[in-house]
């Protein structure tokens, strides 16, 4: 009888200890799982919690537009190459000079200077205002048909170092516009009615009648290129 009582007490103690150990283990697992962030496949970052910001794969177009056909007026928009968004410059020892606005400029396209399988034109901005203003960076550009619809893709920018160009009334600044000769490249072509060009940091384009003939719009070497603005007319 004594042996049986001892055996029973030992079994009760062991069962109680086992139950307590199981309870501690369950509590530990629950705490760790609640705090651990959910991993995002393909990235080392945890998934953002609700209301905690963007997820790792968040993205948007530069203008915030959904993918689709881009209006020519939007395609002709240039970006600020300096990233400053400044409206004026201040020469050493001088007063601040405002940038040239679209309404203060006239645009024109110079004659073609072909060479090495390339068609090379100059896009010229002329200061038509009664005061001095400045330009800096790349112009926006887009070819359009008679209905104002863009033909071809947006021109690519050539490498260059933007500099501030001070334009007195009547002075010019120019950028190069070039593309491969379609007869050589074999690209598909279209004949635009107009060229829309937009001064740097402006949104409103100027319309120039296009008299340069066919331009490549798809296929081999179909990208036109535009260079950074420089003083003068590029003649």
When pLDDT is averaged across residues 178-185 and rounded to a whole number, the result is 92
145 compared with 10, residue with greater pLDDT = 145
**What confidence score (pLDDT) does residue 24 get?**
34
Q: How confident is the model at residue 19 (pLDDT cuts 50, 70, 90)?
A: very low
What pLDDT shows up at residue 212?
95
Q: What is the pLDDT of residue 219?
A: 84
CA neighbor of 12 nearest in space, from 22, 24, 20, 2? 20
If pLDDT is split at 50, 70 and 90, which confidence band does 159 have? very high
Q: Given the DSSP bridges, would you call strands 225-226 and 172-180 parallel, antiparallel or unpaired? A: antiparallel
Can you tell me the mean pLDDT for 72-86?
A: 50
Cβ within 8 Å of residue 93, ≥6 positions away: none
* 94-123 average pLDDT score: 91
Q: How far apart are CA 42 and CA 38, in angstroms?
A: 12
Q: Phi and psi at residue 123, in whole multiples of 5°? A: -100, 120
Check whether 187 has a pLDDT greater than 70: yes
The residues near 152 (Cβ < 8 Å, ≥ 6 apart) are 143, 190, 192, 215, 216, 217, 218, 222, 224
Do residues 208 and 109 touch, judged by C-beta distance below 8 A? yes
Interval 126-148 mean pLDDT: 96
């Amino acid at each position: 009888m004594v042996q049986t009582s001892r055996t029973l007490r030992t079994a009760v103690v062991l069962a109680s200890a086992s139950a307590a150990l199981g309870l501690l283990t369950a509590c530990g697992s629950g705490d760790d799982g609640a705090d651990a962030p959910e991993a995002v496949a393909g990235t080392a970052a945890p998934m953002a919690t609700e209301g905690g910001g963007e997820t790792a794969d968040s993205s948007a177009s530069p203008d915030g537009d959904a993918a689709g056909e881009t209006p020519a007026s939007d395609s002709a928009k240039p970006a600020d190459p300096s990233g400053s968004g400044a409206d004026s410059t201040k020469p050493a020892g001088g007063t601040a000079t405002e940038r040239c606005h679209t309404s203060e400029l006239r645009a024109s396209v110079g004659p073609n200077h072909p060479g090495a399988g390339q068609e090379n034109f100059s896009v010229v901005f002329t200061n038509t205002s009664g005061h001095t203003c400045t330009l800096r960076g790349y112009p926006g550009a887009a070819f359009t048909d008679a209905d104002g619809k863009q033909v071809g893709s947006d021109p690519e920018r050539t490498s260059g170092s933007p500099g501030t160009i001070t334009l007195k009334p009547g002075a010019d600044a120019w950028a190069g516009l070039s593309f491969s000769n379609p007869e050589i490249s074999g690209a598909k072509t279209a004949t635009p009615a107009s060229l829309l060009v937009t001064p740097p940091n402006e949104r409103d384009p100027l319309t120039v009648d296009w008299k340069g003939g066919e331009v490549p719009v798809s296929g081999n070497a179909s990208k036109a290129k535009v260079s950074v603005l420089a003083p003068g007319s590029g003649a």
